[in-house]
Structure 1
C-alpha cells in the first residue's frame, strides 16, 4: 500500500514540478515590471513563498520517482542538485523581500538572474532524463545545418548474415527496441539492465532473467507471455509491444540454450521468420551511385514541356516524360545529353520518335523502364538495347512494332516484361514459357490497361 502510494507520488512528479515553475515564471515577469505595478512588492513575496513550498513537494516527488522508477543516481544527481538549488534560491529571495538582514547584502538582480539560470538548467536536465539527451539538441542541429544521422533500419539479406551471431543480428535489436528504454545504463527498473550481453546475463534485483539450466523457466520468457493486463507483463502497457514473430524468436533462442555465439545459419530459422526479419528485396532500379543531375539542364528541359522528377525523394535517379511534347523527335534525344546516367525511366509515348531512337538510347546505361506507346516504332535496331543491363520493362502498346523484330526484342536478356498489345494487329505467339512470361500481348485487356506501366 505505502509502496504503491510512493510510486504514484513519483509518477506525479512531471505534474507537480510545473507548480513551482509557474510561480517562478510569474514572479520573474512581475519583477521585471515592478516599477509599473504598485502592488508588485507583496505579490512577489507571496509568489516566491509558494514557489518554495511547491518546490519542496517537487523535490520529494522527484526523489520517489528516482527511487521507485529504476533511475540511476548518476542520471538524476545534477537535476536533483539544480532543483534543490532553485528551491533554496526561491526561499532566499522570499527572505530577502521580507527584509532579512543577512541576505540584503546580495543585489536583487542576483535572485532574478539566478532563478532564470537555474530554472533553465534544471528544466533542461529534467528533459534529458525524460526524453533523452538528443531531444533538445537534435532540432538545433537541423536549424544550424549540422548533419543528424537517423537510425533507420536497413533491409537485411539472409545470405549476408548467415555467419553472423543470432544474438547481434536478431536478439539484441529486439531487446534494444523493446526493452532497453527502461533497462539501460541510465535507467534500470528493478535493478535490471539489458543494454549489453553482460548486463543481460547478470539480471536484476530479483535475480537472473535467463535460466541456462532450465531455459523454459527463464523469467524473461515468462514475462513476455503474461496477459497484457498483468502488471508483470513485459513490455508494460503503453510501451511498444513485441510482435508475434519477435516473441517466437526469443522463445526459440532461450529454448536452444541462450547461446551468444550461435550463428544465424545454426539457428535454423523457419521460412516465416526468415521472411519477417530478412526483408531484403532486390531494388527494381539500379543501386549504383550516380552524380547529382545537372539542375540547370533540367530547368531548360522543363521549359520545353519535358517532365522530370526524381524516382523518389533524395534520389539522383530521374524519370523523364515527353507526354506534353508530342513533337519530341529522334534528334531531340540529344537534349537529354548530360542526364544519361541519371535517367532510369523514360516515357516517349505519343511522341514523334522512330526506330532511329535506338541508336541513341543505348547510351542510357541505367535505363530500367522505356515507354514507347502510340509511336511509329517498328522495332528495327531494337537489338542495340542489349547493352542496357538494367532494362527491365518496355511498353510498345499501340506502336507500329513488327512481328519480325520480336526475336531481336527477346535477345535483351534483362527484360522482365514487354507490353506489346495493339488495337489494330495481332502478334505471333510461342509455346516457350519464358517468352509468354515476358511478352504480354493482352488481347482482351486493352481497355483495362493501367497507364502506370
Structure 2
C-alpha cells in the first residue's frame, strides 16, 4: 500500500470533521441537537487532554527540525477536531454563553482547523520550511490561550491570579453581612459554576440582584423562610445526590459557611445590614465572629496525618467526612438520617477521633456507646446533637470536651441537671437550648455565671420550621 493510500481514510476524516466543525461554528444559532448528541458533549473534558499532548509533541519535533511521525500528527489532528466538535456540543447545553466561553469555543475551533491545515499541507508536501514553522507556532500559541480560557471557564476568572493580587483576605471589623461575608462564601464555592460566563441552571451568583433573580427553576432563596429556600435544601442533600450543590468533586461548603447562609436567609437576607446592627443574641453574630477569628490552622498543625483513602473508606451515602480546609488534617463529619441507623457508622469514627473538630449528628438516634466515643474527641470544637435522645447523663460525659466552643442540643430531653456540666465547659461560647426541659430560671442562672456564653433558647421561627420540616429521625 503506497503512502498516500495508506492514510486516505485519515484524509477523509480530517476533511469531513473540518467541514462539520466550520458548519457548527458558523450556524450555531440555528442548530438544535438531539438529546443523545448533546449528551455526548459531556465527554469533552475527558478527551481534551489527548490532542493537546499529541500536538505539543508534534510541534516540539517540528520546531527542533526532527521528523514528525505521520501517525502522531494524524492522531493529534483527528483527536483535536473531535475535541472541538464535542466542545461545541457541550457549549450548546449552556443557555447563555458568556465572553469566556465564547472565546474558548472559537479559539478551540481555530486550534483544530489550523492543525488540520498543517496536516493537509504536510500530506501533500506543499509546506515550505518557514510556513510550516509558522503553523506550528500558531498551534502552540492557540493551545496555550485556549487552555487559559478553558481554565477560567471552569474555575473562574481569577483562577490564575497571583495570591498577592487577592484583595479580600481581611474581613472588615464591622462587615456588611452580604458583601463581606455571604458574597465571600459564594465566590469561593459557587461562582465558578454560576457566573456570567458559565450560567449553570441559568443562575448567576456574582451579585445580590442576580441572586434575587434566581435561575431556571425560580427563586433560590426566600428571605425569612428556610423551608422554601432551594439553595439551603440542596446544600443539605447527601453528597452523592445529583441535586446536591456544589456537585461532587467541587470544593464543598464548611459547616460554619452553611450555617451563615441559613441564618442570613432566616434573618431577612439583607444586602445592607452590618454586623453591629444585629443583636448579640443572634446566632449569626457568633458564626460571623468565628469566621473572622484568626486562621485556626496553627492549632491543628499537630493533628495526626489522615490519608484521603481512609476518609473515602469511612464515607457513605449518609456519612460525609471531609477536611475542614484544603491540606488540613482537621476533619468535619456529618451523618444524615439513614433509612436504618447502625451505631457502627458513628463508632467507625474512632480511628480518626483526634482529627474530628466538627461533628453533626442532628436527628440521629444515638445511644450510650456513641456518646462515650464522642467524649473522647479531644479536639472537638463544634458538636450538633439536636433532636437526638440524649439526656443529662450524656451531657455530663461531654463536659470533658475542653475545646468545645459550640454545642447544639435543642429539642432534646435534657433538664436543669445538665447545667452544672455546661458551666464546666470553659471553651463553650455558643449554646442552643431551644425546646428542652431546662427551665427559664436555670438559663438565667447559667447566663449570670457565664456572661461570656451566648445561650440561645428561642431559635428563629424560620430556622425551626426548616428543622421540623426535615425531621426524619429513623427508629432503632
More relative contact order in 1 or in 2 (CA 8 Å, sep 6+)?
2
TM-score (norm. length: structure 1): 0.49
Larger radius of gyration: 1
